[in-house]
Amino acid sequence: MAVNARIPLGAPGLYPYPDIPIRALTRVRLDVCAFVGVAPRGPARVPADGAPDVPPHRSVTVAVESFDEYRQVYGGFEGPGLLPYAVASFFEQGGLRAYIVRIVHDYGNDAANALGVASGDVPGAGSSAGPLRLRARNEGAWGNRLRAKLSFSTRSLLFDPARVSLTGLELPPGIELAAGTLLRLNYGGGLREFRFVAYAIESRQPQRTGYIWTISFDHAASALPQSIDIVAAALTIDDGDGRSERYEQLGLSRQHPRWIATVLTGESALVYPDTAWVDSAFTPDDLTLATDPPTSALFTGGDDRYPDITPEDCFDPLWTIGDEEPGDGIQALSQISDLSLLVVPDLYSPFPLVEPRKLSLPVSLAGPVFTRCLDLPAPTVTPEPPPADLVNLRLDPAIPEDLERITTLQTQVVGFAEQVRSFVALLDVPPGLTQRRILNWRSRFQSSYAAAYHPWLVVVRQDDQRNIPVPLPPSAAAAGIIAQVENTFGVPHGPANVIAAQVLDVRETVSPARHDELHPLGINVYLLERDGVRLTAARTLSADPGFRQLSVRRLLVLLRRTLEQQMQWVVFEPNNSALRAKLRQLLGVYLRQLFTAGAFRGATEDDSFFVRCDETNNPPRLADLGQLLVEVGVAPAEPLEFIVLRLARDADGSLTATEAQG
C-alpha cells in the first residue's frame, strides 16, 4: 500500500492512516410543504437577533410536525382565515412536516407596527424604570387573556461573621454567588434591606484551604447583618387558553446569569420583557417576602387587526433572488432548504367564515319538588361586536375585476417558485367559475413549477366551534396527499388516485364531460365517489409535454437538490481525471438506485440515464480556469394515467377483456 503523501512523517513509529470520507448521495426530503396565511396568534414582527437598529422581521418561518404543534403556536380555528383548516387537512392526509408563515399587515412605520400587542404590569416588584411590564409575544386579541404572577423564594447564605463588612463579605470554599444575585440582609428586630451582589471574585489566600469568593455589595449596608438570605424570583405566565409557562431561579438584575429579561427573551413563547426596564434592577415590594404577591390583571391592548390585511402583505416587493436575508410574506421561505410545496390559503378570501359559536347553557330552574311556575324576566340583549373579517382580502371570482386580481396574485406566487426553482406552488382554481372562465384562467399559467386543483372541498371539524361545513382550498389536501405518496412510494409515483381523508364533499360537481376537458389542460380534479372524495390527477400547468406530470418536475427538483446539497465537497478537490472518475462512479450509483425504483422510463440503464464527465466536456482549457463540468441526463418515467381494455367475443360466445394500451 502506498503511503498517503498527506501524512506528516517524522521519527520512526506507527502513524494512524487518515480517515477517507465516504462519498455517497442519499435521499433528500421532498414531502415538506409551506403554508402562508392568517392566524390569530403566532410569530410575527420578530426582532432581529443582535441587531437593535434593524427593523423586525414581519414574517417568520416556523416548522411544525403535527396539527397539535401548530395549534400550540398559532391557535385554532377561532380566526377568519383558512390557514388552520389547510394545515389540519395536510396532516390528516399524511403530511409529516410543514412550515408556517403568519401574515400580518405592513403599516410602513414602527409606531403602527407596534400596536395591537397586549401588555400588562406584574405586581410584586419595582424598579427605578417603573413596574415589571410584560408584553405579548406577538399581536392579537389573544394577548388580552394573559396573566402573570411573580413570587419569591429564599435560602440562607452561610458565611463567617468575622469576615463580613458593610461593603461585602468572604464566603468559605464551596459556596458561590453570581454577580447580580439579590441578597436580603437581616439585622434583627425585624429590620431588613436588599442588596445586590455587585461582583464576586474567586481567589486563593495564604494560610487558607481552597478558593474563596469575595463578595461586594452594590452599595454599603446600613449595619453588619446577623444573617443573609439569597432571594430568587419565579415567574408564572398563563394565556387563559391552556398554555402556561413557569421560570424559576430568576435574577432581578441584568448582571445575573438568569436575568429575567434575558430568560424571557430567549425562552418564552408567550411574552417579551418591555424594553423600558431591561437595563434596570428590581427589588420586591415586600421586605418580609411573607405574602404571596397577587396575579396581575388581564393584559390589555391586544388587537387582531384582521381587516387591515391586504393581499400585498403576502409578498415582499423589495426581496430579490440572491438576497442574504429572507424577505417577508412568501419570500420568508426563500432559504428553506427542504421545502418542496407551497400553499397560500389566505392569498385572498372568496367568502367570509361565520363567527365561532359561543355555547351557553340555559339556567335550569328544575328542583326536587313541584312548585309554581315562575315568570322569567325578559332576557337582556347585549349587542355583539361585529365579527372579525378579512375585508381587504375579499375578492369575488364572479366579478371580472376581482378575478383578474386573483390571477395576478397567483401569478406572483408562481413567479416566486420559478425564481427559487426548488418547490412547486399549488394553486386553487377560484371557486364558482363557469367552465369557460376556468379555461380562460388556465390560459394565464404556463409553468411546471405550479399545479392547479379544482373544485374547492367541504370539511366539518369536531374541534371547530363553528361546527358547520367549511370550504377548504383543494391545494391543502393535495399537499398532504403528495407528501403521503412521497413518503410511501417515492417521487416517481404519481400523487393521484387517492381518497382525501376527512373531506365531506366538493363544493361543485364536475361532470364527466367537463372533467374530460379539464384534465388534458392540467387541472387536477376532485370527484365525489361512493367511497369518498378522490383526487384524480397530478399534473402541472406546464405547456411542455415533457413536464406535464407533477412527478417529473419533482424528480428533477430532487436531482438538483441532491447535487447542490451533497456535492459541495467537490470544490475542494483537485480538478483531475481521478476526480472526474469518482464523480462518474458516484452519480452512476445514485442514478442506478433511481432506475431500480422505477424513476426512469428506459428498459436499460443506457436508455434511462447517462453521466458525462471526462475529457470530452472538460478540455484542459476548462480545467485551467478552475472549472468542472458534469452532464447528467435522465429520461423520467411518467405515471400511468390511462388503461385501455379491448373487449372481444370469441366464437363460442364468451367475452374476454385484454389490456390493449397503457
pLDDT value of residue 71:
97
CB atoms within 10 A of CB 435: 13
Q: Rounding to the nearest 10 degrees, give the CA dihedral for residues 543, 547, 550, 551.
A: 170
CB atoms within 10 A of CB 577: 13
Identify whether residues 454 and 500 lie together within a single domain.
yes
Share of the chain above pLDDT 70, in %: 88
**Contact indicator for 228, 200 with CB cutoff of 8 Å:** no
Boundary-marking domain end, from 249, 284, 319: 284
Task: Tell me what percent of the chain is helix, strand and coil, each rounded to the nearest 5.
Answer: 25, 25, 50
Band (1; pLDDT cuts 50, 70, 90): very low
Identify whether residues 479 and 430 lie together within a single domain.
yes
Residue among 273, 409, 317, 275 at smallest CA distance from 106: 317
Hey, what's the cell of 282? 428590581
| 272: region left, alpha or beta (phi > 0 left; psi from -120 to 50 alpha) | beta
Residue among 513, 516, 512, 519 at smallest CA distance from 548: 519
Residue among 569, 99, 560 at smallest CA distance from 335: 99
Whether 373 is in a domain gets the answer no
* Better pLDDT: 477 or 20: 477
Identify whether residues 545 and 651 lie together within a single domain.
no
CA atoms within 13 A on the CB side of 49: 3
Band (383; pLDDT cuts 50, 70, 90): low
* Better pLDDT: 67 or 465: 67
pLDDT value of residue 84:
97
Pairing of strands 182-188, 244-250: unpaired
Is the pLDDT at 98 greater than 90, yes or no? yes
Identify whether residues 62 and 159 lie together within a single domain.
no
Taking the C-alpha atoms of residue 587 and residue 563, their distance in angstroms, rounded to an integer, is 9
pLDDT value of residue 657:
56
Identify whether residues 158 and 280 lie together within a single domain.
yes
Taking the C-alpha atoms of residue 448 and residue 441, their distance in angstroms, rounded to an integer, is 16
Band (370; pLDDT cuts 50, 70, 90): confident
Query: Residues 187-213: pLDDT tens digits?
Result: 988 899 999 988 877 765 555 554 466
Is the pLDDT at 88 greater than 80, yes or no? yes
| Least confident window among 303-317, 453-467, 556-570 | 556-570
Identify whether residues 416 and 395 lie together within a single domain.
yes
Whether 100 is in a domain gets the answer yes
Number of structural domains found in the chain = 3
CA torsion sign for 86, 90, 92, 93 is positive
Residues in contact with 160: Cβ distance below 8 Å, sequence separation at least 6, in sequence order = 169, 170, 172
CB atoms within 10 A of CB 643: 9
Residue among 279, 286, 287 at smallest CA distance from 260: 279
Helices 83-93, 474-489: axis angle to 10 degrees equals 30
The SS3 assignment for 568 reads helix
Share of the chain above pLDDT 90, in %: 61
Band (621; pLDDT cuts 50, 70, 90): confident
CA torsion sign for 283, 286, 291, 297 is negative
What does the angle CA 559 – CA 561 – CA 562 come to, to the nearest 5 degrees? 65
Scanning the structure block, which residue is given the C-alpha cell 410584560? 134
- Cis preceding linkage at 21, omega within 30: no
What is the strand order of the sheet 498-499 is part of? 61-64, 98-102, 32-37, 339-343, 424-428, 450-454, 523-529, 532-535, 498-499
Averaged confidence pLDDT in the chain: 88
Whether pTM > 0.85 for this model: the answer is: yes
Band (612; pLDDT cuts 50, 70, 90): very high
Whether 49 is in a domain gets the answer yes
Boundary-marking domain end, from 517, 551, 585: 551
CB atoms within 10 A of CB 239: 22
Hey, what's the cell of 596? 431500480
Residues in contact with 366: Cβ distance below 8 Å, sequence separation at least 6, in sequence order = none
Whether 514 is in a domain gets the answer yes
Is the pLDDT at 382 greater than 60, yes or no? no
Identify whether residues 585 and 621 lie together within a single domain.
yes
Single-letter residue type at 216: S
Hey, what's the cell of 398? 364572479
Identify whether residues 84 and 230 lie together within a single domain.
no
| Least confident window among 78-87, 372-381, 631-640 | 372-381
Single-letter residue type at 259: W
Helical segments of 609-660, H only: 620-624
Start-to-end CA span in the chain (Å): 55
Identify whether residues 477 and 404 lie together within a single domain.
yes
Taking the C-alpha atoms of residue 294 and residue 149, their distance in angstroms, rounded to an integer, is 7
Taking the C-alpha atoms of residue 546 and residue 475, their distance in angstroms, rounded to an integer, is 23
Band (524; pLDDT cuts 50, 70, 90): very high
Whether 556 is in a domain gets the answer no
pLDDT value of residue 572:
84
* For residues 23-37, average pLDDT: 90
Domain that holds residue 600: 573-662
Identify whether residues 496 and 535 lie together within a single domain.
yes
Helical segments of 8-148, H only: 67-74, 83-93, 110-113
CA torsion sign for 575, 578, 582, 584 is positive
Helices 435-442, 400-420: axis angle to 10 degrees equals 40
pLDDT value of residue 386:
62
Hey, what's the cell of 338? 427542504
* For residues 517-534, average pLDDT: 96
CB atoms within 10 A of CB 178: 15
**Contact indicator for 33, 478 with CB cutoff of 8 Å:** no
Estimate to the nearest angstrom the gap between the alpha carbon of 347 and the chain centroid.
18
Scanning the structure block, which residue is given the C-alpha cell 394565464? 444
pLDDT value of residue 377:
67
Entry field: residues in the chain: 662
| Least confident window among 102-111, 311-320, 512-521 | 102-111
Is the pLDDT at 388 greater than 80, yes or no? no
| Least confident window among 369-373, 378-382, 426-430, 516-520 | 378-382
Scanning the structure block, which residue is given the C-alpha cell 454599603? 220
Query: Residues 329-358: pLDDT tens digits?
Result: 999 999 999 999 999 999 999 999 887 655
Band (656; pLDDT cuts 50, 70, 90): low
CB atoms within 10 A of CB 597: 14
Band (642; pLDDT cuts 50, 70, 90): low
Q: Domain with 491 in it: what CATH number?
A: 3.40.50.11780
Boundary-marking domain end, from 551, 584, 608: 551
Is the pLDDT at 281 greater than 80, yes or no? yes
Residue among 47, 86, 58, 57 at smallest CA distance from 70: 86
pLDDT value of residue 380:
59
Is the pLDDT at 66 greater than 60, yes or no? yes
Identify whether residues 123 and 102 lie together within a single domain.
no
Whether 163 is in a domain gets the answer yes
Band (381; pLDDT cuts 50, 70, 90): low
Whether 22 is in a domain gets the answer no
Whether 567 is in a domain gets the answer no
Single-letter residue type at 133: R
* Better pLDDT: 159 or 433: 433
Residues in contact with 437: Cβ distance below 8 Å, sequence separation at least 6, in sequence order = 403
Single-letter residue type at 405: R
Query: Residues 558-593: pLDDT tens digits?
Result: 999 998 888 888 888 888 888 889 999 999 999 999
Single-letter residue type at 532: G
Taking the C-alpha atoms of residue 448 and residue 261, their distance in angstroms, rounded to an integer, is 49
Give the highest mean pLDDT range of 156-165, 183-192, 244-253.
244-253
The three-state (H, E, C) secondary structure of 88-117, written as one string: HHHHHHCCCCEEEEECCCCCCCHHHHCCCC
Hey, what's the cell of 61? 418561518
Rg (CA), the chain: 33
**Contact indicator for 178, 200 with CB cutoff of 8 Å:** yes
pLDDT value of residue 55:
75
Query: Residues 461-489: pLDDT tens digits?
Result: 989 988 899 999 999 999 999 999 999 99
Hey, what's the cell of 347? 392569498
Identify whether residues 179 and 75 lie together within a single domain.
no
Taking the C-alpha atoms of residue 208 and residue 194, their distance in angstroms, rounded to an integer, is 30
